[in-house]
Amino acid sequence: MNIRIQNNVRHDCIGTTKKFRILLTFMLLLFLYMATVNPLHGQSYQPSPENLKTREWFQNAKFGLFIHWGVYSVLGDGEWVMNQQQIPVNIYEKIPSFFNPTEFDAKAWVQMAKAAGMKYITITSKHHDGFAMWDSKVSDYNIVKRTPYGKDVLKMLADECKKEGIKLFFYHSQLDWHHPDYFPRGNTGGSWTGRPESGDMNKYLDYMDAQLTELLTNYGEVAGIWFDGMWDKKDADWRLQKTYNLIHQLQPAALVGSNHHRAPYPGEDFQMFEKDLPGHNTTGFSAESKVGTLPKETCETINNSWGFHLKDDKHKSKKDLIQYLVKAAGYDANFLLNIGPMPNGKIQPEHVALLNEMGEWIRIYGETIYGTRGGPLTARDWGVTTQNGNKVYVHLLKWFDESITIPSWGKKIKSVKIFQDKTPLKFSLNDFGLSFKIPKDKLNEIDTVIEIEIL
Ligand code: H79
């Protein structure tokens, strides 16, 4: 009886193994099928060594300047004005003839970014209105052919950035309210644009790839392409792999990122979060977004607009902006801070002043931001931590008491100091965590930075 039972058991075991093997083979075949057929998720992507080097530079850089500049600035109503005011293509096409930014000074822009402590610039090559801000040969809907200004601002900026050691990214809109082949149309840029009720999306994507080829061929080293607009047609075939491969072939070191508010697709090298820290969703854009393992960036506006907005005076404060930079670093992300230059090529003086104030702060505290990674403790109500080697920086963004206990993270502590003047602080590692005392006069309204040396 015992033997029979044992036999039965053994027999059953063999059955299970066989079933398991069949299931395994099936899953392997399914995986191979997905890998070859699924155009988005199945492709394996191996970033080149140059690309990995740029990723590391990017993570160390921490702070960049976002620039939204296009012919829309003439109307002073933001970069969405064409859609918001439902201006048909044939009327919108009149705007470039008024765009004459005679005060544009690439040197002044780059100096401003440097003075703010920014290490890179991301500028709109083409926004949703479809207007090219460079000397494109693929279409004459561009700054050189259609504006009285007639000069290639991207070229001037690229040359200046190169001279000054600032890296340059191009923001490029996949969504296009102007091109007739952007069809079927998405959720924006509807029939009011006056475009034909037919078109060939593949032709549009060929056009986009041709324009990207220009940007990645004629403007020297490009740090990356910052895509936006896929969300306009969520289920379209965007031929991502073809476009991403093209970019990686033309400039292997360039990073690809896309503001599609989803988990990254193969071929992407960094992940961005619009107006939110990674994992947050105050805007409602990031509901489907999953925080991945790629280098991260969060972008935010200096007032409430991306493109120049005449009536927008909701400028953020110096404190808001510095604290956002610090929080981003604590979340292991870069901060890409946006300004929208005016139609004359100048930047609003309030914005220049704010950037200068950020620069003053970062000249003192840069060591606690640049080159760091998110620290051992995730964000808390009181602030965040950053880390570089054996130094951990505790950024107290909201703390008014003379002592604090933070969770310990299993490291022995060599010293605890006020970062700015190296005042040593009394500390103790105890059952509740790491406690230290901060003299009241050392508490800083923006960020009390504590430097902890670990063993
Ligand atoms: O390029 C910037 C925006 O133009 C673009 N992404 C950033 C980086 C963007 N596209 N969509 N959105 C941001 C979110 C959409 C916001 C909208 Fe609206 C709310 C579109 C219409 C209502 C904001 C407010 C834009 C126009 C009015």
pLDDT digits (tens, 9 = 90+) for 31-88: 444 444 444 444 689 999 999 999 999 999 999 999 999 999 999 999 999 999 999 9
Q: What percentage of the chain carries pLDDT values higher than 70?
A: 91
Long-range contacts, stretch 419-423, CB < 8 angstroms, 24+ apart: 419/365, 419/367, 419/368, 419/393, 419/449, 419/450, 419/451, 420/364, 420/365, 420/449, 422/451
Q: Is the CB of 84 under 6 A from ligand 1?
A: yes
Beta bridge partners of 299: 274, 336
At residue 160, the pLDDT reads 99
Given a cut of 60, whether residue 188 has pLDDT beyond it is yes
CA of 124 relative to ligand 1 center, distance in Å:
14
- Beta pairing, strands 413-418 & 224-228: unpaired
CA of 79 relative to ligand 1 center, distance in Å:
8
Distance CA 166, CA 119 (A): 6
Confidence of residue 17 (pLDDT cuts 50, 70, 90): low
Distance CA 167, CA 235 (A): 33
In this prediction the pTM is 0.91
At residue 287, the pLDDT reads 82
In this structure, are residues 181 and 201 in contact, taking their beta carbons and an 8 Å threshold? yes
Q: Is the CB of 77 under 6 A from ligand 1?
A: no
The 3-state DSSP class for residue 357 equals helix
Closest CA to ligand 1's atom 5: 228
Confidence of residue 443 (pLDDT cuts 50, 70, 90): very high
At residue 285, the pLDDT reads 86
CA of 208 relative to ligand 1 center, distance in Å:
21
Closest CA to ligand 1's atom 10: 229
Atom of ligand 1 nearest to the CA of 79: 4
Given a cut of 70, whether residue 25 has pLDDT beyond it is no
Closest CA to ligand 1's atom 24: 80
Beta bridge partners of 170: 123, 225
Closest CA to ligand 1's atom 13: 274
**What string of DSSP letters covers 155-182?**
HHHHHHHHHHT-EEEEEEES--SS-TTS
Q: Is the CB of 274 under 6 A from ligand 1?
A: yes
The 3-state DSSP class for residue 234 equals coil
Q: Is the CB of 80 under 6 A from ligand 1?
A: yes
The average confidence (pLDDT) of the chain is 93
Atom of ligand 1 nearest to the CA of 285: 14
pLDDT in tens, 369-424: 999 999 999 999 999 999 999 999 999 999 999 999 999 998 999 999 999 999 99
Q: Is the CB of 45 under 6 A from ligand 1?
A: no
CA of 285 relative to ligand 1 center, distance in Å:
10
Closest CA to ligand 1's atom 2: 306
The 3-state DSSP class for residue 264 equals coil
CA of 428 relative to ligand 1 center, distance in Å:
49
Q: Is the CB of 79 under 6 A from ligand 1?
A: yes
At residue 452, the pLDDT reads 98
pLDDT in tens, 279-323: 999 998 888 888 999 999 999 999 999 999 999 999 999 999 999
At residue 289, the pLDDT reads 84
Atom of ligand 1 nearest to the CA of 68: 1
What's phi and psi for 68, nearest 5 deg? -105, 105
